[in-house]
Amino acid sequence: MLQLKNGVYEIGGVAVSQLCDKYDTPLYVYDTGMMEEKFNLLKTSFDGANTKIKFACKALNNINVLRFFKNLGAGLDTVSIQEVWTGIKAGFDPKNIIYTPNCVSLEEIELAVKEGVQINIDNISILEQFGHKYGSSVPVCIRINPHVMAGGNINISTGHIDSKFGISIYQMRHLERVIKSEKIRVNGLHMHTGSDILDVDVFLRAAEILFEATEHFKELEFIDFGSGFKVPYKPDDYYTDVKELGEKLTRSFKNFCKTYGRDLELWFEPGKFLVSQSGTFLAKVNVIKQTTATVFVGVDSGLNHLIRPMFYNSYHHMLNVSNPEGTQRIYTVVGYICETDTFGWDRKMSEVREGDVIAFQNAGAYGFTMSSNYNSRFRPAEVIIHKGKDYLIRKRETLDDLMRNQVEVELK
Ligand SMILES: *Cc1c(COP(=O)(O)O)cnc(C)c1O
């Protein structure tokens, strides 16, 4: 996390200027201190129940980050067989990995079964084929769509009626038929209603719907409430109060367990909550371009490295870390991609000069993992700060990386 100390911006105790000198820009920097703080906050908020936290791999999949969370006691939430393999490589016990794919083939699910991870299925067609093949020999979790509208943006909302995710709560009869005929053993119920939940009560309402659905499943071992915790992006921004959610959900969960007749595990799969604030993205100012309408700050990066502003209209707070004392002025920060790639309009920052470094906050989640080589640009390096020391955890790409897998042929 970026902090101003004695007039110098630092991350986890290391000066930003030192990081830029050593590793160059653009650069992703992660702070393990912040990751641990968030993990512990979530853990203590839900310590009234038997809670398991599965880090959502797709938010930030560097193997060192995965290992860090594993050592804190986290499991892993995966959405592809490749993430399953990555998790196993990172040392996770397959039993602590949940695999929640969407619209994948039965063949891919079979590969996950082979690895021994918890399977989570979200459509009746594949569930039927799964049951036909495995019967009760492989337990399965069912992803339910409770149809509760949550999420800050339509593209990150997954619980609404038009969403492709989950098995509708209204398809319960059909679901039961399939489970019964194929003798499927359902050991968990799951929901994930989307990112950026703005209201604790929305979460609780969805939870109640899941509790009601459990009457159809007698062999449950856990309920997985997915994720969607909103993190603050702007100074004074709204965020999910996990303490309040923890208190309320733990209470209703315990009551539910009494009714159900067994103590179940309570699972979560946060990505953004655990890593968003731990990450800072650093880019250097190439050019300051005054047009008739605005002052553009053009940096040595673009939507190829941080697509969230253009993809989700997300807000990343930006600071000119090279000029902490400078006069506050208004800039529009853009990238170097031949495509409109605006990081932020009309941002107040201390006076920007060419060569200054701009820090983008909340860049830990869905930053590097959504980066690409568009415009034949190299993807950035990644650095992790742990206990005041910096470690390179991913090298900056080179031309060889762009050429790898390309096959040169002679077209006669
Ligand atoms: C993406 C995803 C998550 C993590 O969501 P965040 O908003 O990053 O916390 C959790 N579970 C599933 C199934 C997901 O697809």
Do residues 16 and 321 make contact, with C-beta atoms less than 8 angstroms apart? Answer: yes
pLDDT score recorded for residue 199? 76
In testing the pocket of ligand 1, which one of 269, 312, 314 has its CB within 8 Å of the most ligand atoms?
269
Annotated catalytic residue, options 103, 141, 257, 338: 338
Separation between Cα atoms, residue 259 and residue 330, nearest integer Å: 58
Answer yes or no: pTM beyond 0.85. Answer: yes
Nearest CA-CA partner of 85 in 52, 108, 60: 108
Pairing relationship of beta strands 8-11 and 51-56 according to DSSP bridges: unpaired
Residues of the chain with CATH 2.40.37.10: 2-30+277-403
Residue located via tokens 């990555």: 86
CATH superfamily of 61-270: Alanine racemase (3.20.20.10)
List the residue whose alpha carbon is closest to atom 15 of ligand 1.
79
Which CATH architecture best describes the domain 2-30+277-403? Beta Barrel (2.40)
Burial classification of residue 313, based on how many CB atoms lie within 10 Å of its CB (0-12 exposed, 13-18 middle, 19 or more buried): exposed
What residue type is assigned to position 217 of the chain?
F
Q: Which residues of the chain have pLDDT under 50?
A: none
Nearest CA-CA partner of 210 in 166, 178, 262, 263: 166
What residue type is assigned to position 263 of the chain?
D
Active site residue 338: yes
Structure tokens at 232: 């603050």
Tell me the chain's radius of gyration from C-alpha atoms.
23
Contacts of 4 (CB under 8 A, 6+ apart): 10, 324
In testing the pocket of ligand 1, which one of 58, 117, 164, 369 has its CB within 8 Å of the most ligand atoms?
58
Residue located via tokens 């733990």: 250
Centre of ligand 1 to C-alpha 408, Å, is 39
Separation between Cα atoms, residue 238 and residue 234, nearest integer Å: 8
Centre of ligand 1 to C-alpha 83, Å, is 13
Reported as a single tens digit per residue, the pLDDT across 200-257 is 887 888 899 999 999 999 999 999 999 988 899 988 888 888 999 999 999 999 999 9
Centre of ligand 1 to C-alpha 412, Å, is 48
Structure tokens at 332: 């529009």
In testing the pocket of ligand 1, which one of 42, 192, 308, 362 has its CB within 8 Å of the most ligand atoms?
192
Pairing relationship of beta strands 389-394 and 381-386 according to DSSP bridges: antiparallel
Residues of the chain with CATH 3.20.20.10: 61-270
Centre of ligand 1 to C-alpha 406, Å, is 33
Task: Give the angle 189-193-195 at the CA atoms, nearest 5°.
Answer: 135
pLDDT score recorded for residue 202? 79
- CA 227 to ligand 1: nearest atom: 9
Specify the DSSP class assigned to residue 229: B
Separation between Cα atoms, residue 84 and residue 77, nearest integer Å: 9
pLDDT score recorded for residue 150? 53
- What are the residue ranges of helices labelled H in 298-409? 308-312, 399-403
Helix, strand, or coil (residue 76):
strand
Centre of ligand 1 to C-alpha 391, Å, is 27
Pairing relationship of beta strands 167-168 and 140-145 according to DSSP bridges: parallel
Centre of ligand 1 to C-alpha 132, Å, is 29
Using CB distances shorter than 6 Å, the residues near ligand 1 are 56, 58-59, 77, 79, 100, 192, 195, 226-229, 269-273, 365
pLDDT score recorded for residue 205? 86
- CA 274 to ligand 1: nearest atom: 9
pLDDT score recorded for residue 158? 59
Centre of ligand 1 to C-alpha 290, Å, is 40
- CA 366 to ligand 1: nearest atom: 8
- CA 158 to ligand 1: nearest atom: 15
In testing the pocket of ligand 1, which one of 227, 242, 268, 277 has its CB within 8 Å of the most ligand atoms?
227
Q: 266: which strand partners?
A: 51, 223
153-165 core/surface letters (b: 16 or more CB in 10 A; e: else): eeebbbbbeebeb
DSSP conformation letters of 86-124 = HHHHTT--GGGEEE--SS--HHHHHHHHHHTPEEEE--H
What residue type is assigned to position 39 of the chain?
F
Separation between Cα atoms, residue 336 and residue 304, nearest integer Å: 9
Measured in residues, the chain has a length of: 412
- CA 190 to ligand 1: nearest atom: 13
Separation between Cα atoms, residue 358 and residue 373, nearest integer Å: 21
